[in-house]
């Protein structure tokens, strides 16, 4: 799940399942709020929506990945923000892994997109430009690509 997420795996913290009690899960997220690592969680399908709401409330609209049914026929990987995930997932089945991007206050996708467009103007393909900028700024290539596609609309 971490590898497929497109989120940095240089430093990660595997937490496992949050508590099934909402108040305890919120306390656990508060504890994880300022950790400077990518966070990996397991989650039960019937609690995914509530967990996403709590992540948004406590950690903000971070970049996340949701992997479902890993190595099975219905394998699925979502990459985007917490709010985007909340719009997509209403009912879900299967085993779920949530990967949450590390706490970074310095992410400025507008600035990164300017760099991508500069590289494209200088003859790079969009794929190469995104790859170079994501490496330079140490952000997810997949998420930067999604931001690039949104900016073209």
Q: In whole angstroms, give the CA distance from residue 23 to residue 53.
A: 13
In this structure, of 19-28, 83-92, 98-107, the range with the lowest mean pLDDT score is: 98-107
Span 33-67, pLDDT tens digits: 888 899 999 999 999 999 999 999 999 888 999 99
Cβ(85)–Cβ(52) under 8 Å? yes
First to last CA, the chain: 29
Span 93-149, pLDDT tens digits: 889 999 999 876 556 788 889 999 999 999 999 999 999 998 887 777 777 888 898
Q: In whole angstroms, give the CA distance from residue 60 to residue 113.
A: 22
Q: In whole angstroms, give the CA distance from residue 80 to residue 88.
A: 11
Residues facing 67 on adjacent strands: 77, 97
Segment (H or E) for 153: none
Span 59-82, pLDDT tens digits: 988 899 999 988 898 889 999 889
């Amino acid at each position: 799940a971490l590898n497929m997420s497109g989120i940095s795996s240089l430093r990660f913290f595997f937490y496992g399942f949050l508590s099934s009690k909402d108040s305890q899960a919120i306390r656990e997220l508060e504890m994880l709020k300022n950790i400077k690592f990518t966070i990996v969680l397991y989650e039960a399908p019937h609690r995914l929506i509530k967990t996403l709401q709590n992540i948004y409330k406590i950690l903000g609209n971070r970049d996340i990945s949701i992997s479902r049914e890993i190595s099975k026929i219905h394998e699925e990987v979502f990459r985007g923000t917490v709010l985007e995930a909340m719009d997509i997932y209403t009912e879900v089945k299967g085993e779920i892994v949530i990967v949450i991007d590390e706490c970074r206050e310095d992410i400025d996708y507008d600035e990164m997109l300017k760099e991508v467009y500069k590289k494209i103007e200088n003859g790079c393909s969009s794929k190469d430009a995104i790859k170079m900028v994501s490496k330079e700024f140490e952000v997810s290539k997949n998420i930067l690509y999604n931001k690039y596609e949104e900016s073209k609309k």
